[in-house]
Structure 1
Amino acid sequence: MNSTARRMFELIEPIGAIPYAADEPNEAMFALGFTNYWDTYFAGRAAPLGIVPAEVVDALFYNFAPGEVARHIPKVWDTTTPEAAIAARQRGCVKALRRILGDHVDSPAFARATELLLRAATSAPFAGRPMYAALRAIPIPEDVVARLFHAASLLREHRGDGHIAALMIEGVGGLEAHVLYALDLGMPAEKFGRIHHLPPAQLAALIDGVRARTLTGDDGGLSETGRAVSARVEALTDDLAAKPYESLGPDELDELMTTLEPLATLLLAAQDW
C-alpha cells in the first residue's frame, strides 16, 4: 500500500466530498431549478463530460444500479447547462468551505497549500482516467478557495478512475463493491445507503451473488477471501493514485500535509453523514 497516497486521500477526501457533505452546494444547484438531490448529484458531477448519453455516465460512475442513471441523465440538461452546473457547484462548495474553514482560508499557508495541491492535481497523465481528464478540461478558477476545491476534485476523480480499474481487475462489480464496503465497515449490506433502496428481490440477489463467490461467510460478514479482495483493491487503488504526488518533493509533501491536517479535522467535524 502506498502510504503517501493513502494519507493524502485521508486529507483530501473531506474537501473533495464537500458537494455531498454540506448544504450550500445543494442550495446552489436547487437555485438552477432542480427539485431533488439526485438530479443535483448527476448534474454536478457529470457536467465536465458535457451532454452525453446515460450509458456513458453509467459506465464512468460504475456503481449505480441498472436504470438509476437514466432517470437523471440526460433529463437534467432540460433544467440547466453543464457550464451553469459547474459554476453553481463550485460557487456552493466555496461558500461551504469558507463557512467551515473560517480564517484559515486567508492565511499564506492556505494559499501555499492550494498551489502545491493544484500542482500535484494537474501533473498526472490523462491516459485511462476519463473522469479526471474531463475535469482537467475545466478552466482553473482564480479564487483561492475555488482552486483548493478544484484541486481536491481532480485528485478525487483521478483516484476514483483508478479505484474502478482495481475493482474490475478483481472482478468486483459496482454494486458488489457497495456490499463489500458496507461489510468492511461492520454494517449490514441491506442497511447501506447506496443499495438499501433497491427492490428487495434485487438486493437479495446481489447479496446472494456475493455469497456465492465466497466473499462473505455463513455469518453474513466478510470471509477471509472477501477481506483479501478488499485489501487488494485498496492497495492497488493507493498505488494507482500515487502519481500526482511524485511532482512534489519530500519537504513540499510534508508542508502540504501539515497544512491540510487541521482543515480536514474541521471538515470532518462539520459533516452530518
Structure 2
Amino acid sequence: MENVAQQLKDLFVPIHEVAYMADEPNEELQALGYEGYWPLYFASRSAPLGRVPAEVVDALFYNFAPGEVAACIPSVWEVATPEAVLAARQRGCVAALRGILGDLADSPVIARAADLFMKAAVSAPVEGRMLFAGLRSLPVPDEPLARLWHAATLLREHRGDGHLAALVANGINGQESHVLMALFWDMKPRDFGRLDPLTDDQLEEVINGLQQRGLIGNDGWFTPAGRKLRTDIEDLTDALAAPAYTCLSPQEVDELTTNLTPLIKKIKAASPF
C-alpha cells in the first residue's frame, strides 16, 4: 500500500495546503486579531492540541529554529481561543476552495471524495501520532466541502506525524531535515526558505554535522549515502502512512484519483507558489 500512500498524498496535500497558500484563511484569522503570518500559523496549526506549552508545540512541529515557536506560543491564546481559531481556519479554507472550484465545489465528486477520505482518516492508527490525535478529537463537519478539507488535513497530519517518526528513527534532527529536503529538491540550503532563521554560522554547523556523517560531500551536495538516506526516509514515511488506506478498495482508490485529479490541477494552478 506504500504506492497508494504516495498516490493519495498527491491528492489530499493540495486540498489541505490552501490553509497556507490562500488569502481567505489568513483573513479569517486576522479578523480575530492576529497580526503577522507566524502567530496565526502557530495558532491555527496547534489549536487541535489546546493550550499546550511552547515546548510541546516545538517538539510536535519538530523543525522550527530555536525560539520560533516560543515567540508565538502561548501568547497567541491571549488573542483568541483555540476553538475560535479552529472555526476561523476552517471557514477560510472552505471559502478558498469554493472560490477556486466554483460550481464544482458542490458537485457529487466532492461529497464522495470527502466520504472516502474520512473513511481512511478514521481507519488510520492513532498511536504515536499526537497532532493527528488532536485533530481526530474534533467534530467532523457536515458540509461536504468542509468535510473534504477536514479529512485532507487529518491525512496530511497523520502522514506528517509518521514522517517525524521516520526522521527520528534515522537520527535526523529538525534543521538537518530542512537541509536534506533542500538537497532533495536540488536547492542549495541557504536558498531554502525554512532555513532563513539560521545564521550563516548555524547553518554551516548543521551542514558540517551532515558532512561528518558522510551524507553531504565537500561540494555541498548529497553523497550517494545521503541521497539513499533521504529516499529511505520517504519510503518509510509511505510505509507508516499506508495502514490508513487498507480500508479502501483498489476501485475506490482509482475513483478518487480519476475524479479528483482535475480538481487538484485547479487548486495547484491557483497556488501562488
Q: TM-score, normalised by structure 2?
A: 0.98
Root-mean-square deviation over aligned CA pairs: 1.1
Q: Relative to structure 2, which stretch is displaced further, 63-72 or 197-206?
A: 197-206
Counterpart of 2:261 in structure 1 is 261
8 Å contact kept, 2:183–2:221: yes
Partner amino acid, structure 2, of 1:13: V
Counterpart of 1:115 in structure 2 is 115
Aligned-pair distance for 1:244? Answer: 1.3
Counterpart of 1:202 in structure 2 is 202
1:39 aligns with 2:48: no
C-alpha distance in 2 between matches for 1:93 and 1:196: 27
8 Å contact kept, 1:113–1:260: yes
Partner amino acid, structure 1, of 2:123: S
Give the length in aligned residue pairs.
273
Regions of 4+ moved over 2 Å: none
Alpha-carbon deviations, 1:118-144, whole Å to 9, x = none?
A: 111111121111111000001011111
Counterpart of 2:190 in structure 1 is 190
Aligned-pair distance for 1:197? Answer: 2.9
Alpha-carbon deviations, 1:199-254, whole Å to 9, x = none?
A: 22212212222222211112111111110110110000001111111111111111
Partner amino acid, structure 2, of 1:15: I
Counterpart of 2:249 in structure 1 is 249
C-alpha distance in 2 between matches for 1:35 and 1:109: 36
- SS of the counterpart of 1:222? coil
Counterpart of 1:140 in structure 2 is 140
Aligned-pair identity (%): 55
Counterpart of 1:76 in structure 2 is 76
8 Å contact kept, 2:19–2:93: yes
Alpha-carbon deviations, 1:18-67, whole Å to 9, x = none?
A: 11111111111111101110001100000000000000001111111121
Aligned-pair distance for 1:192? Answer: 0.5
8 Å contact kept, 1:105–1:111: no
Counterpart of 1:6 in structure 2 is 6
C-alpha distance in 2 between matches for 1:239 and 1:197: 32
Q: How does 1:221-232 map to 2 (within 5 A)?
A: 221-232=221-232
Q: Please list every run of 5 or more consecutive structure 2 residues that lacks an aligned counterpart in the other structure.
A: none
- SS of the counterpart of 2:12? helix
- SS of the counterpart of 1:26? helix
Q: Please list every run of 5 or more consecutive structure 1 residues that lacks an aligned counterpart in the other structure.
A: none
C-alpha distance in 2 between matches for 1:253 and 1:183: 31
Partner amino acid, structure 2, of 1:163: H
Partner amino acid, structure 2, of 1:72: C
